[in-house]
Structure 1
Amino acid sequence: MNAHRKTNPTQSHESFKSRFRQWITSEHVSISILAFVIGVLAGTAAFALKRMVAFVSHTLTHYIHPGEFNVLFLILPLAGILLTGIYTRYILKRDIEHGVDKMLKAISERHYNLPGSTVFSPLIASTLTLGFGGSAGSEGPIAYAGAAIGSNVARLCRMSPHHTMILLGCGAAAGIAGIFKAPVGGAMFALEVLALDFTTASVLAVMVAVIAAGLTTFALTGYTIDLAFPSMATFEPHLLLSVVILGILCGVYSIWYTYAADKLERLFGKIKNPWIKNIVSGGILSVLVFVFPALYGEGYSMMGEVLAGNYSGLTDYGPFAHCGKEMLPVLLLGIVAVKSFAATASNSGGGVAGDFAPTLMAGCMLGLMYALGAQYWLGIDLETGNLAYYGMAGAMAGIIQAPIMAIFIVLEMSGGYTLLLPISVVATISFLTVKACNRLSIYDSRRHRKEREEGQPQAKHD
């Protein structure tokens, strides 16, 4: 007769608890759980920032009408820069310009503990800058806020410096994923821009964070994409030459954009009085927005209209309201020529905003200019919407020098996955054009300039 050993329920329960404790405290699982929490928080913050900027912008532009000179364009952007300067100097008492640059510096110096106030301060400051018409983006501030979320969650959980660095990167990537609803683009931001050292655990954590952030924002916004492209045309192989030419144009333009931004930032750097700097930068921004109203704000609504084939918004609110359609390429040339100045005046003279959205806007206008110029002046019929769309990825790839991120951000925010091939061609050629000329990205250019300035004796000021 076989004797059967009876299992003690208490021992079985303790064994299960022990195995579960080992599983939950393993590196991959614990980091992934925290990454999920960070992703949800960053996605919620991205949604909140979108809504705050939209509310302020809609409220202030309610009395701006098409077909007339709008003096408010001379007032609002300047007021936004001044208010942001007041907030950062007298309330926050800390400089939070160029959040991505600050993250890159923190990672390089292994300073992973970001202040708790950084969770919300970039959101408030960028709402003032962008809501009042700043011609830049919200991705820099939300990436900085997301990094602060990751850093503070890690500090609360008493994580090691290495794990804190991973969670900081998770938060920054989640911020990008949330603001663009682009999980893969957010992950590529961590890889190409932040250049984090990835292990299996960190890759898994970043993917969990960006998926959680993207889905959170997607759900909170009603499961809609941000940049609809209803007139999307199928890519035809015989148009490949026009796509290659656009890639080269985007690369050349990227060199100009970074050069112009560097020159204007140097000018702002020479102005030591913060009030004067705010007035100068706000004044430049206001004049440019008054002449080219399409530069007002982040530009996503304008890009949406262009992709839909509606170009009236480019002319209706400014001095070019009565120009003929044959002059549209000239107007677009003016917009792309000064877009770098407008973006730099928005985020380097007291405002708080990002660098990604301006590159998307500039690329969209460049692609449209190329297509309309070929159509009106050379009689060559090109798909205007498609080329404007490709240009978005081309300019971002060349200026930020992150081609894979650029490709997926543009695809994910619009759902245009069938155009992966031409977008990849434009982004790659633009990137290689810039690299062939040995030019730095906008972040590297800024970092090198600041390193040179900090290496010189600093003048004393009251």
Structure 2
Amino acid sequence: MALAVVVGAGAGAGSVVFRWCIKAFTQLFSGHADYAASPGADNPHAPWLGPYFVLLAPLIGGLLYGPLVNRFAKEARGHGVPEVMLAVAQRGGRISPKVAVVKTLASALTIGSGGSVGREGPIVQIGSALGSTLGRVTKMTEGRLKLLVACGAAGGIAATFNAPLAGVFFAMELILDTFSAEAFGATVLASVTASVIGRAAFGDVAFLHLPDFHVDHLAQYGLFAVLGVVAAVAGVGFSRFLYLIEDACDWAWRGPEWLRPAVGGLALGLVLLALPEMYGVGYPVLQKATEGGYAIGFLLLLLVGKMLATSLTIGIGGSGGVFAPSLFIGAMLGSVYGTGVHHLLPQSAGAVGAYALVGMGAVFAGASQAPITAVVILFELTGEYSIILPLMLAIVLATAVSRLLSHDTVYTLKLRRRGVDLEGPARGAPIGAQHVGAVMEPLPSPLPASTTLADAAELLSLSGHGALPVLDDGGHYLGVITAQAVAEALAEQPEDAPTLAGQLAEPPAPITADQPLAQALHALLSAAGTGVPVLDHKQGKPVGWLSHQSALRAVHAAA
């Protein structure tokens, strides 16, 4: 807990330095504190160039951060969060301390010179690197080291966006992928500590200032629900487009990697010249869109422009996050949708800005499939509670539709394209790489669903497994019945107790024969009894049995 506070303080201080660097480089390259607030203006440092300075800014920035990243920390390239997720899932939480310094400079240079990316990915990677370094210096166990990495991520988010709760849930939902009392307590301490430092430096104000919104008509909930579905498509589409452009950049570039950001910066400069609102993070443009400051046609142009500018920035080797761009895209989509329904249903549609706010959270949820983080972070970024119900509705629907459309998120897709599965074994690791079909045991004799509980109890005691599969009269798999469930049922009052095995059968998390053992271990550990059925991946019928003993034998043999 003491180390969590130290990591939080380090992440808070790191966020202050990072934001100062972004401001300094933006001022240096554009002559403005935030060029997106004055799109198309001249650079006072080079007034003779007029607005054409945006052609040179990304090129010069790329010449500075390209060699820096290529020489000292290649993992600082890109949006950062996938690298942290990989470090926690398969590398024991180990992140090089160089990443904190290189990521700070590279991301600040990328954003300051016009890169259309966010700052949440970099600060997550910076804070996580600090947590990992401190954990290794103090010789923490692997579990505690991973927790300190999550503390660094939570502290970075909390201090940068003045969102302490969002930092906690971001760390647990996306980085740790688990919820526990210990993880919650440690990340809260880190988040609170970082927030105190951030508020001392930046003030205790909401990140975005929005007018009050109210749901005045019940029909609006239906409109918000439709927006959630549309936003899911936009979130998944943004993820796919991001990596499509990155593939195109990989295909087109044949020179040294250190020069790629500079040459690619010329293409980015053309986008900025045509649409200067894309310069940097773009929060002033987002703010104006939520206030109804743009026409529908220009909002659509901003939406497409942000997808292109962000994808191009990442594709040429820039360093920055995709959270802020997803909010930007969501705000534009929500504003277009809100304006449209306001024209169609002027009496019941409500304020356009409410749709922009909901669109922000829903597109992020569609891209990240992290609904809790999306709800909390939108609430804290805006300080707007009156829209919480439609926000929750749209975000949950966006997450559900996104999971139907894609197994991967904007973060995990980057890793899967490299051949990395976070739920499987680390690449090259012999332990856990075997398929379940190669290590499973023969399937115990299934129980018919019509078996009485007394007979089921006797058969379970003879089986030695503590659990048996259950089939209905047609031979279809229903689930598993455990000795504990039977004992509890027989101990109940006779009039309330189930009488047949089929009534107590519950399907555990499915494990298939072609699944890697490391992936199946998660389901095995959470199952009752001493094992679970292994299913045929085509027909879903039980074909074998994976027990704790068989899994341990396979791991021992591989070791």
Instruction: Say which SS state the counterpart of residue 70 (structure 1) adopts.
Output: helix
Amino acid at match of 1:34: L
Give, in whole Å, the separation in 2 of the partners of 1:452 and 1:139. Answer: 23
- Is the 8 Å Cα contact of residues 212 and 386 (structure 2) preserved in structure 1? no
Amino acid at match of 1:302: V
Larger CA deviation: 276-285 vs 63-72: 63-72
Larger CA deviation: 206-215 vs 372-381: 372-381
Q: Give the match for residue 284 of structure 1.
A: 267
Change (3 A) 1:289 1:207: same
Q: Looking at both structures, which has the greater relative contact order when contacts are Cα pairs under 8 Å and sequence separation is at least 6?
A: 1
Q: Give the match for residue 302 of structure 1.
A: 285
Amino acid at match of 2:393: V
**Pairwise mapping of residues 359-374 of structure 1 onto structure 2 (< 5 A)?**
359-374=326-341
Give, in whole Å, the separation in 2 of the partners of 1:305 and 1:79. Answer: 30
**Pairwise mapping of residues 404-419 of structure 1 onto structure 2 (< 5 A)?**
404-419=372-387
TM-score, normalised relative to structure 2 = 0.68
Amino acid at match of 2:418: K
From 198, 201, 215, the counterpart of 1:220: 201
Residues 400-459 of structure 1 deviation map (CA, whole Å, 9 limit, x = unaligned) = 11111111111101111222111111211111121122352111221111118999xxxx
Give, in whole Å, the separation in 2 of the partners of 1:113 and 1:443. Answer: 19
Give, in whole Å, the separation in 2 of the partners of 1:159 and 1:439. Answer: 34
From 233, 245, 262, the counterpart of 2:213: 233
Report the alpha carbon displacement of residue 269 of structure 1 after superposing the two structures with TM.
Answer: 3.0
Tell me the percent identity: 28
Give, in whole Å, the separation in 2 of the partners of 1:399 and 1:386. Answer: 20
Structure 1: runs of 5+ lacking an equivalent: 1-31, 312-327, 456-462
Instruction: Say which SS state the counterpart of residue 387 (structure 2) adopts.
Output: helix
- Is the 8 Å Cα contact of residues 66 and 262 (structure 2) preserved in structure 1? no
Change (3 A) 1:197 1:397: closer
Change (3 A) 1:116 1:439: closer
Amino acid at match of 2:288: E
Greater strand percent: which structure? 2
Give, in whole Å, the separation in 2 of the partners of 1:152 and 1:400. Answer: 27
Q: Give the match for residue 350 of structure 1.
A: 317
Residues 136-179 of structure 1 deviation map (CA, whole Å, 9 limit, x = unaligned) = 11111111110111111112222222211111111112112222
Larger CA deviation: 340-349 vs 140-149: 340-349
The answer to whether 1:449 aligns with 2:417 is yes
From 22, 30, 39, the counterpart of 1:61: 30
The answer to whether 1:106 aligns with 2:74 is no
Q: Give the match for residue 321 of structure 1.
A: none
Report the alpha carbon displacement of residue 182 of structure 1 after superposing the two structures with TM.
Answer: 1.2
Residues 38-83 of structure 1 deviation map (CA, whole Å, 9 limit, x = unaligned) = 1121112112212221232234333776677721222223332332
Q: Give the match for residue 5 of structure 2.
A: 36
Instruction: Say which SS state the counterpart of residue 71 (structure 1) adopts.
Output: helix
Report the alpha carbon displacement of residue 118 of structure 1 after superposing the two structures with TM.
Answer: 2.1
Change (3 A) 1:82 1:377: farther
From 142, 167, 186, the counterpart of 2:123: 142
Give, in whole Å, the separation in 2 of the partners of 1:379 and 1:411. Answer: 26
Q: Give the match for residue 109 of structure 2.
A: 128
- Is the 8 Å Cα contact of residues 255 and 439 (structure 1) preserved in structure 2? no
Residues 223-271 of structure 1 deviation map (CA, whole Å, 9 limit, x = unaligned) = 2222111x22212233212211211110111121112112112223333
**Pairwise mapping of residues 52-451 of structure 1 onto structure 2 (< 5 A)?**
52-62=21-31, 70-90=51-71, 92=72, 94-97=74-77, 98-229=79-210, 231-236=211-216, 237-270=218-251, 271-273=253-255, 274=257, 277-279=260-262, 281-311=264-294, 328-375=295-342, 382-451=350-419
Residues 183-202 of structure 1 deviation map (CA, whole Å, 9 limit, x = unaligned) = 22111112221134444322
Change (3 A) 1:295 1:439: farther
Change (3 A) 1:362 1:155: same
- Is the 8 Å Cα contact of residues 208 and 287 (structure 2) preserved in structure 1? yes
Change (3 A) 1:368 1:397: same
Give, in whole Å, the separation in 2 of the partners of 1:220 and 1:205. Answer: 23
Give, in whole Å, the separation in 2 of the partners of 1:414 and 1:59. Answer: 29
Give, in whole Å, the separation in 1 of the partners of 2:271 and 2:40. Answer: 18
Instruction: Say which SS state the counterpart of residue 450 (structure 1) adopts.
Output: coil
Change (3 A) 1:80 1:419: same
- Is the 8 Å Cα contact of residues 407 and 427 (structure 1) preserved in structure 2? yes
Root mean square deviation of aligned Cα? 2.5
Residues 267-288 of structure 1 deviation map (CA, whole Å, 9 limit, x = unaligned) = 2333352256324532332222
Change (3 A) 1:348 1:212: farther
Residues 205-229 of structure 1 deviation map (CA, whole Å, 9 limit, x = unaligned) = 1111112212221222122222111
Residues 344-384 of structure 1 deviation map (CA, whole Å, 9 limit, x = unaligned) = 22233221101111101110111112122344688676412
Instruction: Say which SS state the counterpart of residue 113 (structure 1) adopts.
Output: coil
Instruction: Say which SS state the counterpart of residue 240 (structure 1) adopts.
Output: helix
Report the alpha carbon displacement of residue 115 of structure 1 after superposing the two structures with TM.
Answer: 2.2
Change (3 A) 1:360 1:134: same
Amino acid at match of 2:113: F
Amino acid at match of 1:36: V
Residue-pair matches, total: 406
Greater helix percent: which structure? 1
Change (3 A) 1:81 1:426: farther
Change (3 A) 1:93 1:172: closer
- Is the 8 Å Cα contact of residues 142 and 172 (structure 1) preserved in structure 2? yes
Report the alpha carbon displacement of residue 341 of structure 1 after superposing the two structures with TM.
Answer: 2.5
Structure 2: runs of 5+ lacking an equivalent: 42-49, 428-559
Q: Give the match for residue 48 of structure 1.
A: 17
- Is the 8 Å Cα contact of residues 358 and 391 (structure 2) preserved in structure 1? yes
Give, in whole Å, the separation in 2 of the partners of 1:298 and 1:220. Answer: 20
Give, in whole Å, the separation in 1 of the partners of 2:89 and 2:207. Answer: 33
